[in-house]
């Protein structure tokens, strides 16, 4: 069974930075995508950023473009989300998710991802 473990969340002041990690294990596949999603209290879970394993192509939500960077280390099966210039509205539980297969367009919707981690809390507050 695929396992996804997030880490790196915490409390940070506005304007600060955090780096989230998503360690994926218990699978062997050449083609897959990993996405970061977040859910704030009372809100729907939304896509933040996604990356395709085959070529490293990426997707970013408009709300995080220019502030967040997704990257991967294929040797470690780990995906990172570097979050800079954090804002209070970035406060949420952040989840990583995985979908197998090759897609012309990187999967961006939560419904497309069958495997999920347990989430890590990010709180941006002074």
Phi/psi for 108 (5° steps) reads -120, -10
pLDDT in tens, 49-60: 999 988 889 999
Residue 51, strand partner residues: 34, 58
Q: Are 14 and 59 in contact (CB under 8 A)?
A: no
Beta-carbon contacts of 105 under 8 Å, excluding residues fewer than 6 positions away, are none
| 89 three-state secondary structure | helix
Beta-carbon contacts of 81 under 8 Å, excluding residues fewer than 6 positions away, are 19, 20, 22, 36, 48, 49, 68, 69, 70, 94
Q: Are 66 and 5 in contact (CB under 8 A)?
A: no
Residue 45 has pLDDT above 90, yes or no: yes
pLDDT in tens, 65-122: 999 999 999 888 899 999 999 999 999 999 999 999 988 889 999 999 999 999 999 9
| 90 three-state secondary structure | helix
């Amino acid at each position: 069974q695929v396992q996804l473990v997030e880490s790196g969340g915490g409390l940070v002041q506005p304007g600060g930075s955090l780096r989230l990690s998503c360690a994926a294990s218990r699978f062997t596949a050449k083609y897959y995508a990993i996405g970061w999603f977040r859910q704030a209290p009372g809100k729907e879970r939304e896509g933040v950023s996604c990356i395709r394993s085959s070529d490293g192509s990426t997707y970013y939500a408009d709300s995080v473009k220019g502030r967040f960077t997704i990257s991967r280390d294929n040797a470690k099966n780990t995906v990172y989300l570097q979050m800079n210039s954090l804002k209070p509205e970035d406060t949420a539980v952040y989840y990583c998710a995985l979908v197998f297969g090759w897609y012309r367009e990187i999967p961006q919707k939560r419904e497309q991802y069958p495997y999920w981690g347990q989430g890590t809390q990010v709180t941006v507050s002074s």
